[in-house]
């Protein structure tokens, strides 16, 4: 059986075409408070415009990336040809979010051993990267 009316219309008792005007008159009572505020976008959530996806192909020279943490520190060969810049951050490899340096290395090595192309997504917004690094350092200092 297919639902033909909204739950609110059925509760209020309207099944006719004119019942939508009843729903329009309903308002949230002031005692219920305002709408729930949305969480502000943290530095851990990057804007889509700050993400760049590049495809690395298997080659004898490798991918040409060197990184410290997840921040790219040196670019050679294939990465340089694709336009990767030092200071960018590794975000995901083959659609999987990268957790740490070891995870990034193992995913890139696995793709190279299988002789397949790898889609690597980078965060290119230097300001967002610095803010996130600052937040991580602050959290580490709190735990110590």
Check residue 18 and give its pLDDT.
52
Check residue 3 and give its pLDDT.
56
How much is the pTM? Answer: 0.61
Check residue 8 and give its pLDDT.
60
Of the candidates 90, 119, 117, 93, the residue with the CA atom closest to the CA atom of residue 107: 93
CA distances from 2 to 5, 6, 10 (A): 9, 11, 14
Check residue 24 and give its pLDDT.
60
- Count how many residues are written for the chain: 144
Check residue 112 and give its pLDDT.
87
Q: How many Cα atoms are found within 13 Å in the side-chain-facing hemisphere of 98?
A: 24
Check residue 6 and give its pLDDT.
63
> Could you give all domains of the chain from N- to C-terminal order, each with its CATH number?
48-143 (2.30.42.10)
pLDDT tens track of the chain, all 144 residues? 455 656 666 666 655 555 555 556 666 667 666 665 544 444 456 666 789 999 998 877 788 999 998 999 999 999 999 999 999 999 999 999 999 999 999 999 998 888 889 999 999 998 888 998 899 899 989 888
Q: How many CB atoms lie within 10 A of CB 89?
A: 23
Give the whole-angstrom CA distance, residue 10 versus residue 30.
25
Q: Are 69 and 104 in contact (CB under 8 A)?
A: no
């Amino acid at each position: 059986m297919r639902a033909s009316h909204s739950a609110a219309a059925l509760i209020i008792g309207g099944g006719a075409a004119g019942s939508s005007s009843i729903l329009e008159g309903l308002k949230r009572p002031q005692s219920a408070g305002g709408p729930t505020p949305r969480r502000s976008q943290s530095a851990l959530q990057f804007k889509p415009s700050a993400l760049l996806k590049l495809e690395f192909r298997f080659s004898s020279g490798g991918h040409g990336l060197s990184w410290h943490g997840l921040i790219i520190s040196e670019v050679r060969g294939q990465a340089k040809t694709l336009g990767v810049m030092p200071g960018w951050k590794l975000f995901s490899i083959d659609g999987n979010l990268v957790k740490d340096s070891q995870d990034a290395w193992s995913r890139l090595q696995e793709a190279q051993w299988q002789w397949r192309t790898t889609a690597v997504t980078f965060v290119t917004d230097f300001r967002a990267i610095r803010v996130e690094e600052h937040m991580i350092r602050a959290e580490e200092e709190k735990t110590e």
